[in-house]
Amino acid sequence: MESSTSSKTRTKTHKGKPSEDILPGNLLNCRRIKDGNFHLAKIIQKRNLIGGGVGDFEYYVNYIDLNRRNDEWVKFERFDLKSLKPDIEPVEPEELAGVRTVECIELRRHEIKTWYSSPIPLEFEDCRRLHVCEFCFTFKNSRSQLKKHKKDCQIRDPPGHEIYRDGNLSVFQIDGATNTEYCDNLCYLAKMFLDIKGNLGRTENKMFYVLIVHDDLGYDMVAYFSKVKLVMESYNVSRILTLPPYQRRGYGTFLIGLAHEVAKWEKVKMGGVKSQLSDLALSCYRKYWNRVLLRVLKQHKGGPLSILDLSEKTAIHPEDVTATLKQLNLLELDRENRRYNVITDAARLARHDIYSTETEIVDFPDYTKNLDSYFDPCPDFDAAKMITWLHPQTEEEED
Ligand code: ZN
């Protein structure tokens, strides 16, 4: 990485240099705790350090070569002042809007470091740690206030309809129009982990699918996705999130499987996901497409299969089928007929493992401190475990 240097080469240059000299718009190397390396960073904001003396500041930095979810508040000691660039760059309004004021949330057993800013109500603007009710996602700025709230909180199960159950895992389908407050709170929470530009949008026109895992004392919300209602031509997941403590355990892939099943039930095709989703979500989608397409191909007996056949069987958009098979090297160009043929040869397919863990490397920040050291991996999605189904369009028509 060009802008990184080993921490071993760090020089003790910050002594003697006043912290007032570092201003928003400055570019200089900053040491990241996670990898111990210096990375070129831009100062976005500066504020007084809580409990610090006069001239003690902390600085919000954006690491130029890393995803924005790694932006953080740092102390002066982390800078290599020798690397300070002479010019000051303008700080754009969207950079300022992206400054995380809430640094951490407490949600049941977890203490989770936030990744992005969220447009939470103004009264919480100065709050660095939010205490979130695991039942209704209401947030409070102190543990005692949350305790008081939980005594009165009426919600004990997610609202809406339970549409899937497998052991201690359940998925609820929740209409944003009838459970607006619950879904608004969920969106505020989710935004802390999703890089979404602009406002959160209306919850009334969306359906939410919330995955929870029960234990003896209650349950944890683990992951969710939402989709816009009344889009008949294609089924597009608008947001999908697995909370950081549960990531890399298959929950995202599970929800993508559910989304494809819901698309089949609604008799629409999954829309192409393109760039609307985060890098983490896209990596989940790719894993899911690989797995499902390989499984269909390996089980296929008989004549040739086309890209459209595969799309019909799996509800995966034809463009995504093509891209996945290309990447797996399972497409052959038929020049004469100017189209791609899908390779169904058993020997070629045997080279691929359905559960291959080979995925792109994504940069996960240090995200969480949890009280439990182990969580079960998510079971595979199984369409036979769907319970009930309410078609959102039918509900709307009945109103
Ligand atoms: Zn509550």
* Per-residue model confidence as pLDDT tens digits over 227-263: 888 666 566 788 899 998 888 888 999 999 998 888 8
Cβ contacts of residue 122 below 8 Å, gap of 6+?
A: none
User: From ligand 1's centre to the CA of 154, what distance in Å?
Assistant: 7
Residue 184 CA to ligand 1 center (angstroms) comes to 13
Residue 378 to residue 25: CA distance in whole angstroms: 44
CA of 132 to the centre of ligand 1 (A): 8
Q: According to the model, what pLDDT value does residue 17 have?
A: 54
275: number of Cβ within 10 Å: 8
The rounded Å distance from CA 147 to ligand 1 centre is: 10
Say what the pLDDT of residue 383 is. 87
Q: How do residues 128-152 score in pLDDT, each as one tens digit?
A: 999 999 999 999 999 999 999 999 9
Residue 90: Cβ-neighbour burial (10 angstroms; 0-12, 13-18, 19+): exposed
* Residue 337 burial (C-beta neighbours within 10 Å; 0-12, 13-18, 19+): exposed
Residue 26 CA to ligand 1 center (angstroms) comes to: 43
The Å distance, Cα 284 to ligand 1 centre, comes to 31
157 Cα: distance to centroid of ligand 1 (angstroms): 10
The Å distance, Cα 390 to ligand 1 centre, comes to 26
The pLDDT value given to residue 6: 42
pTM above 0.95, yes or no: no
CA of 181 to the centre of ligand 1 (A): 11
**pLDDT (mean) for 310-326:** 89
Q: Flag whether pLDDT at 102 surpasses 60.
A: yes
User: Cα–Cα distance between 265 and 209 in angstroms, integer?
Assistant: 15
pLDDT bucket at 48, cuts 50 / 70 / 90? confident
Cα(145) to ligand 1 centroid in Å equals 11
Whether the pLDDT of residue 364 is over 80: the answer is no
Q: Which residue has the higher pLDDT, 19 or 353?
A: 353
Task: Output the CA 149–ligand 1 centroid distance in Å.
Answer: 6
pLDDT band at 21 (very low <50, low <70, confident <90, very high): confident
Q: State the average pLDDT for the chain.
A: 83
State the distance from the centre of ligand 1 to the C-alpha of 198, rounded, in angstroms.
Answer: 27
Amino acid at 79: F
C-alpha of residue 244 to centroid of ligand 1, in Å: 21
pLDDT of residue 217: 86
| pLDDT tier at 74, thresholds 50, 70, 90 | very high
Q: What pLDDT does 262 receive?
A: 83
What's the confidence (pLDDT) of residue 223? Answer: 95
Distance 124 CA to ligand 1 centre (A): 17
* Vertex 251 angle, CA 246 and 255, to 5°: 145
Distances (CA, A) of 248 to 29, 280, 361, 383, 388: 31, 10, 12, 22, 28
Q: How far is CA 137 from CA 133, 134, 174, 188, 213, in A?
A: 5, 6, 14, 9, 16
Q: Which residues sit with Cβ closer than 5 angstroms to ligand 1, an ion?
A: 133, 135-136, 138, 153
- From ligand 1's centre to the CA of 321, what distance in Å? 42
Q: What pLDDT is stored for residue 273 in this prediction? A: 56
CA of 45 to the centre of ligand 1 (A): 33
Q: How far is the CA of 219 from the centre of ligand 1 (A)?
A: 13
d(CA 144, ligand 1 centre) in Å: 13
Distance between Cα 182 and ligand 1 center (Å) = 9
Q: What's the CA-to-centroid distance between 19 and ligand 1, angstroms?
A: 43
